[in-house]
Amino acid sequence: MKQFLKYFIQGLILFIPLIITLAILSKLFYFFESLFSVFGFTDNVILNTVLGMIFTLGIISLVGLLASSFVFKQFFNYLEDKLEHAPFIRHIYSPIKDFTNAFVGNKKRFNKPVLVLTNPAAEIEEVGFITQEDLKDFHIKDKVAVYLPMSYSLSGRLIIVPAKSVKPLDADAGDTMKFVVSGGVTEKDE
């Protein structure tokens, strides 16, 4: 039973973001495909499918291109700020955004697993990931930013701790994240 639970949790960790991404892509695809059918651009079902796919890929790429320009960066930052403060949407949008940004793209953030001494009196340590070692932009010296993911969740919290309270872990970042998110149920892959 323990082995089944381990595989189930690992499957969920990989499956949930994949399904959310596929659902969004599917909705976009059907939206563009239906536009071609409704407005009568073509009666050919295969051509509608191909055009829907091309437009879906094109729109996503265009949004990516626009997001890298200064003017649209400001617009997307404004839109993102509104999404992150919307009463219900923020509970869906923020964790997905955090999760995606952490593992996809050029700047993977959770690549330095550490143990953080969070309660010296009780000698309690938590597993986290260093996200920034230099905090001089915030006028903070001799401290590091550590992200502590929460078990059974895609969210977490950021803490600022003295560098001396952090011990690097000699472990794979992906295995460490699975371990934390599963609440310690998963074991290191052999």
CB 146 within 8 A of CB 131: yes
Q: State the chain's mean pLDDT as an integer.
A: 77
**What amino acid occupies position 140?**
I
Asked if residue 189 belongs to a domain, the reply is: no
Q: Pull the structure tokens for residue 170.
A: 């000699």
8 & 96 share domain:
yes
**Pairwise CA distance, residues 123 & 76, whole Å:** 43
Token pair for 24? 């969004």
72 and 125, same structural domain?
Answer: no
Check whether residue 61 and residue 122 sit in a common domain. Answer: no
Of the candidates 173, 180, 141, 176, the residue with the CA atom closest to the CA atom of residue 160: 141
The percentage of the chain sitting over the pLDDT mark of 70, rounded to a whole number, equals: 73
129, with CB counted inside 10 A (0-12, 13-18, 19+), is buried
pTM: 0.49
In terms of domains, do 18 and 99 share one? yes
pLDDT in tens, 43-82: 676 776 777 778 777 777 777 777 677 777 788 778 778 8
Same domain? For 149 and 130 the reply is yes
Same domain, 74 and 143: no
Which residue segment(s) compose the domain that 36 sits in? Answer: 2-103
Same domain (yes/no): 19, 76: yes
E-only strand ranges, 26-155: 113-119, 124-132, 143-149
Band of pLDDT at residue 126, cut at 50, 70 and 90: very high
* Per-residue pLDDT tens over the stretch 144-182: 999 898 887 767 888 999 999 999 999 888 788 878 877
Please name the residues in contact with 53: beta carbons below 8 A apart, sequence gap of 6 or more: 29
Beta pairing, strands 166-168 & 113-119: antiparallel
What is the chain's length? 190
Which pLDDT score, from 0 to 100, does residue 100 have? 65
